[in-house]
Amino acid sequence: MVENAPGREKILGVFNRARVGEVKLYLVHPVISEVVYVASRIYKVLGFKEHNKLALDLVTWISSFTNIVEITLEAAIRAGELKKELGLALTDCYVLAVAENLGSKALFFKVEEEMKRKINIVKKLPVEFIIEEN
């Protein structure tokens, strides 16, 4: 992770708690795809020649202390309903739907722009943000 990045300490704290079994973290395949894509772009911008390998190493590390969850038909339908209602990115809708199915909270880095339009509804869902904006 990038030094001095906003929310870095909180994210590392959550990861460390998961690594020692204090909390359970769940991951769905679309999030893995996004981590590969975004991390590779960030590493490339930062000048790392092996940006793709670093992104894959990050996913391997994160996967070592998270539970990969399959998206059920029920969760896929719920994600579609959330997409219609909220207009969020489909991956975010999958995360929310799976969190509901598991009785857990969806963890997002921050409130995304498209979430702001429907924030009153979003905050009624099982969701938590690393960086809380006022």
Q: Are residue 103 and residue 44 in the same domain, yes or no?
A: no
Could you tell me the two tokens for 115?
A: 């979430």
Question: Hey, what amino acid is at 64?
Answer: S
Is the pLDDT at 94 greater than 60? The verdict is yes
Q: Are residue 65 and residue 75 in the same domain, yes or no?
A: no
Q: Supply the pLDDT for residue 3.
A: 65
Average pLDDT, whole number, for the chain?
92
Among 49, 69, 89, where does a domain finish?
69
Give the domain range for residue 59: 15-69
Model pLDDT for residues 43-90, shown as the tens digit of each residue: 999 999 999 999 999 999 999 999 999 999 999 999 999 999 999 999
Q: Are residue 60 and residue 84 in the same domain, yes or no?
A: no
Among 69, 94, 115, where does a domain finish?
69
Break the chain down into helix, strand, coil percent, rounded to 5.
55, 10, 35
Q: Are residue 89 and residue 60 in the same domain, yes or no?
A: no
Total domain count for the chain? Answer: 2
Task: Provide φ and ψ at 24, rounded to 5°.
Answer: -105, 130
Q: How much is the pTM? A: 0.88
Is the pLDDT at 4 greater than 80? The verdict is no
* pLDDT tier, 134 (very low <50, low <70, confident <90, very high otherwise): low
Q: Are residue 55 and residue 34 in the same domain, yes or no?
A: yes
Mean pLDDT value across residues 13-19: 90
Indicate whether 8 belongs to any domain.
no
Q: Supply the pLDDT for residue 10.
A: 87
